[in-house]
Amino acid sequence: MKKVLSEDLILYFSPLFPRRYGRGRGRLALIGVGGNVGKVRKRFKKVALVLASHPRVKLVRSAPILKNPPFGYLDQPPFYNTLFLVRTTLPPRELLHFLLCLERRFGRVRTFKNAPRTLDLDIICYDRVKMDSESLRIPHPHWRERESVTIPLRYLGEVRCVL
C-alpha cells in the first residue's frame, strides 16, 4: 500500500515496513536507512533480515519507507528512506563500523558527497549518548531538517533516544 503525501513524497507500507520485531537487549539506537540505486526497497528487506538475526544488533521496529527527492546533489533519482530502531550491545563507534561494513556488503561505493548510493546507514541517535568527533556525531546533526527522518519517525511511536 502507498500513501501519497505530496507530489514528491510517497510512503510505502508492507508487512515489514512498519513492523515491530522484538525487544532485544542493550541500548537503543535509531538508524536512518536510505538508498537510490537499484532495487532499494528489496535491499531494505534484506538489511532488516540481517539486523533481525544479528547477535549484537537486534531490530526492534521499522518505519514505513518514504520516497523523497534528493538533496545536495540533485541530478540523481529519488531516494527511498526508512528508520530502524535497534537494541545493541555494541558501543557507538563499533555500531558505526558495523553499519559501514553493511553498506559495503550491499554495494555502497563512496564517490563524492551526496552521490547516488545503494545503501546509506546513519546513526540518528544512540540511547542518551551525545558525541561530537570527526568520525561520529550523535545525535545526527541534521536529522530535524530531513523529511527522510522526520516523516518515518512519526510512525515509530516513542523513541527513547536523545533527539
Domain extent listing, the chain? 2-153
Judge whether residue 142 has pLDDT over 90: no
Contact 78, 6 (CB under 8 A): no
User: Cα–Cα distance between 158 and 140 in angstroms, integer?
Assistant: 18
What is this structure's pTM? Answer: 0.91
Q: What residues contact 96, with CB distance under 8 A and at least 6 apart?
A: 123, 135, 136
Instruction: For the domain made up of 2-153, give the CATH fold.
Output: Alpha-Beta Plaits (3.30.70)
> Quick check: 162 pLDDT over 70?
no
Checking if the pLDDT of 109 tops 90, the result is no
Cα–Cα separations (whole angstroms), residue 67 to 15, 58, 129, 149: 17, 25, 30, 12
Q: Compute the distance between CA of residue 133 and CA of residue 131 in angstroms, rounded to an integer.
A: 6
